Amino acid sequence: MLNIAIAKGRILKEALPLLARAGIVPLEDAEKSRKLIIPTKNNVANIIIIRATDVPTYVEYGAAELGIVGKDVLMEYGDQKFFEPIDLKIGQCRLMVAGIKNQTPKSHRIRVATKFSNITKRYFVEQGRQFDLIKLYGSMELAPLVGLADQIVDLVDTGNTLLANGLEPLELIATISTRLIVNKAAMKLKRESIMMLMENLESIIEDGSYLK
């Protein structure tokens, strides 16, 4: 039996058709069920639905053999103690620095609001720029509008939310997509089952029809 931890929300919604193509179909509606562990029809895997930020921890410590989560979460998590073998090509977006349109920060030391504190620190330090980090957990676009921050670091999909609030993307930090991660011990102990699933997924991804 394999436990597959999946980030709830958009990633879960986009991962379910992909997993179904690989023969992993939950016994009940994973998006509506209140269960956190959902068995599947093939009886060789369970789906565990959790917060995205918890997926790497579950996989690292072996509570789940596999995880499906965004690259942004993995970048923020830092030092990886698991394998990251497959880019699933879903949940695609961009991690950007953004700010108020046509507005230059008044000081060389800018205030940056984000929930991606580790990524942001690394990025601005590598750029050699002075900054103060403000940790927020939501409504990031509001911070520049009320003077809390000069810029934000956040995920951008269409860019419509930025535009609607008078902001614009300024710098690309990384292109983000959803990744499959694997517990290192499980790769040895349950290698046959994991490799079979990975080969199925790679074949489906190469075909690309699940994205249409």
State the Cα–Cα distance between residues 133 and 207, nearest whole angstrom. Answer: 42
Residue pLDDT tens, the chain, 212 long: 899 999 999 999 999 999 999 999 999 999 999 999 999 998 889 999 999 999 999 999 999 999 999 999 999 998 789 999 999 999 999 999 999 998 888 888 999 999 999 999 999 999 999 999 999 998 999 999 999 999 999 999 999 999 999 999 999 999 999 999 999 999 999 999 999 999 999 999 998 776 66
Task: Specify the CATH superfamily of domain 93-175.
Answer: Periplasmic binding protein-like II (3.40.190.10)
Please list the residues that pair with 132 across neighbouring strands: 111
197-204 long-range contacts (CB < 8 A, ≥24 apart) are 197/2, 197/22, 197/24, 197/45, 197/66, 198/85, 198/86, 200/21, 200/22, 200/23, 201/18, 201/22, 201/86, 201/88, 202/86, 204/18, 204/21, 204/22
- Numbered ranges of CATH 3.40.190.10 in the chain: 2-91+177-211, 93-175
Model pTM score: 0.93
The domain defined by 2-91+177-211 folds into: D-Maltodextrin-Binding Protein; domain 2 (3.40.190)
